Amino acid sequence: MKRISYSKQTIDDSDVRSVVEVLRSDFITQGPQIKAFEEALKRYLCVKHVCVVSNGTAALHLAYLGLHLEDCIVFTTPITFAATSNMLHLIGAEIRFVDVDPLTGNMDVDVLEKALKAETSTKPKAIVPVSLQGIPANLPDIWTLAQRYQAKVVEDAAHSLGGTYVHEGQTYKSASCQHTDVATLSFHPLKTICCGEGGAVTTNDDTVAERVLCLRNHGLVRVDNSYLREQRAWGYNYRMTDLQAALGVSQLKRIDFFVSRRQQIAKRYAEVLSQEPYCDFIEITPLHEGSAYHLFVIHFKNIQARDFAYQYLNDKGIETNVHYMPLYKYQLYRDMLGAMQLPGAEAYYQGCLSIPIYPNLTQDDQDYVLNVLAQCCQEL
Ligand SMILES: Cc1ncc(COP(=O)(O)O)c(C=O)c1O
């Protein structure tokens, strides 16, 4: 049986040529492709600094350390990939999960405001919103709150490269750090552009950029262009290879195509799924013009219906996924935070299902997904 995955990388001959060229060159790591990729990302995002690293988790780790969040209270969302808050825990930050909008899964700013107001600890504060599904979090309002409470802001933009938001009539790119201190990206194969594995930290702050750069390479900094090095921090090997960076440079040239294909497919899905027979069983995340559509998430009425649909589609060769179960349900988090339930996160989790979306998903395959979903609705 043919299988359709929920997401997939888009690799063409130009990508292959770029990687092979590096393989045949003098440098397969720490060579010129790193700078080339960082410069290209800087131009694309209109951000002052980009530091590419080995993966998105390393980017989060360095972003948090770059801002010295080790001894902070950090408000973040439970509807995300574990890396967002795992890295907070691993550096010693105290996690506060803030509830989310039940359809977008993005941080609910009203709940955030209440949580900031109610916080009694005098430790420094930070906020880590995730731009889930590709829809930028409400960064301008989060930024306003952050200024009021002197909190740092890190956007986890792993899903949202290519996504935009409008504020006071102006359009901003996710990860451009216009309303955050730092943002992080992932170049995992299922993301907007891929490097195999890869990630980046973006910022307009010179001090943070310098620290992240230093921590990427063991904390070692070259002195006066000589062989001498100084160890300025306890760092890591989070370097990206030139093979990864060359793939990134090549992929970034086609980002507008990737994002517009995802947006087209999302629009088509939304048009069809808002009609019968679907609309009695499925609610869609409202279309968001600036979403990068890393995911297309539909919502069933309850967990039984969602689980039935997951199995039904799987049996017909269609891979779907649940992004995400609230992190506070994992035993390790329960041990740390105690049992908790946030109403928006529960509602989101119980109904959500990510259906296939990626640039090369053919019209026939989209129709197949829609037809099987229609059959599924008849059996619900
Ligand atoms: C929201 C989010 N943040 C961070 C990451 C971590 O990225 P990576 O897999 O590149 O380490 C992911 C990966 O899926 C993610 O979805």
Q: What is the pLDDT of residue 103?
A: 96
The verdict on residue 5 lying in a domain is: no
User: Average pLDDT, stretch 308-331?
Assistant: 98
pTM: 0.98
Final residue belonging to a domain, choices 221, 252, 283: 252
Residue of 159, 186, 192, 193 to test ligand 1 pocket, by largest number of atoms within 8 Å of CB = 186
Residues 6+ apart with CB under 8 A from 29: 239, 240, 241, 242, 243
The verdict on residue 4 lying in a domain is: no
Residues 79 and 204 placed together within one structural domain of the fold? yes
Ligand 1 contact, 158 CB (< 6 A):
yes
Instruction: State phi, psi for 181 to the nearest 5 degrees.
Output: -85, -40
Ligand 1 contact, 323 CB (< 6 A):
no
Q: Which two tokens stand for residue 211?
A: 């620290």
Per-residue pLDDT of 1-25, as tens digits, reads: 889 999 999 999 999 999 999 999 9
Residues 244 and 263 placed together within one structural domain of the fold? no
CA of 140 to the centre of ligand 1 (A): 23
Residues 259 and 275 placed together within one structural domain of the fold? yes
Total Cβ atoms within 10 A of residue 119? 15
Q: What's the full length of the chain, in residues?
A: 380
Question: Per the structure, how many domains does the chain have?
Answer: 2
Ligand 1 contact, 56 CB (< 6 A):
yes
Residue 65: give its domain's CATH number: 3.40.640.10
User: Average pLDDT, stretch 149-167?
Assistant: 98
Average pLDDT in the chain: 97
User: Average pLDDT, stretch 176-199?
Assistant: 98
Which residue's structure tokens are 């890295």? 87
Q: What is the pLDDT of residue 68?
A: 98
Residues 282 and 175 placed together within one structural domain of the fold? no
The verdict on residue 2 lying in a domain is: no
Per-residue pLDDT of 73-86, as tens digits, reads: 999 999 999 999 99
The verdict on residue 343 lying in a domain is: yes
CA of 59 to the centre of ligand 1 (A): 9
Residues 237 and 269 placed together within one structural domain of the fold? no
Share of the chain above pLDDT 70, in %: 100
Ligand 1 contact, 156 CB (< 6 A):
yes
User: Residue 205 and residue 136: Cα distance in Å, rounded?
Assistant: 21
Final residue belonging to a domain, choices 225, 252, 279: 252
User: Average pLDDT, stretch 142-159?
Assistant: 98
352 pLDDT above the threshold of 90: yes
CA of 324 to the centre of ligand 1 (A): 12
Q: What is the pLDDT of residue 2?
A: 85
118 pLDDT above the threshold of 90: yes
Residue 304: give its domain's CATH number: 3.90.1150.10
Final residue belonging to a domain, choices 252, 283, 301: 252
Residues 284 and 212 placed together within one structural domain of the fold? no
The verdict on residue 201 lying in a domain is: yes
Torsion of Cα atoms, 75 then 77 then 81 then 87, to 10°: 10
CA of 222 to the centre of ligand 1 (A): 31
Residues 240 and 287 placed together within one structural domain of the fold? no
Tell the residue nearest (CA) to atom 14 of ligand 1: 81
Instruction: State phi, psi for 215 to the nearest 5 degrees.
Output: -70, -25
Q: What is the pLDDT of residue 225?
A: 85
Residues 222 and 280 placed together within one structural domain of the fold? no
Ligand 1 contact, 77 CB (< 6 A):
no
Residues 224 and 324 placed together within one structural domain of the fold? no
Residue type, 99: D
Residues 197 and 318 placed together within one structural domain of the fold? no
User: Average pLDDT, stretch 97-114?
Assistant: 98
The verdict on residue 1 lying in a domain is: no
Residues 220 and 135 placed together within one structural domain of the fold? yes
User: Residue 268 and residue 270: Cα distance in Å, rounded?
Assistant: 5
CA of 192 to the centre of ligand 1 (A): 12
Domain that holds residue 158: 13-252
The verdict on residue 294 lying in a domain is: yes
Per-residue pLDDT of 239-289, as tens digits, reads: 999 999 999 999 999 999 999 999 999 999 999 999 999 999 999 989 999
Residues 196 and 295 placed together within one structural domain of the fold? no
Contact of 291 with 135, CB cutoff 8 Å: yes
The verdict on residue 332 lying in a domain is: yes
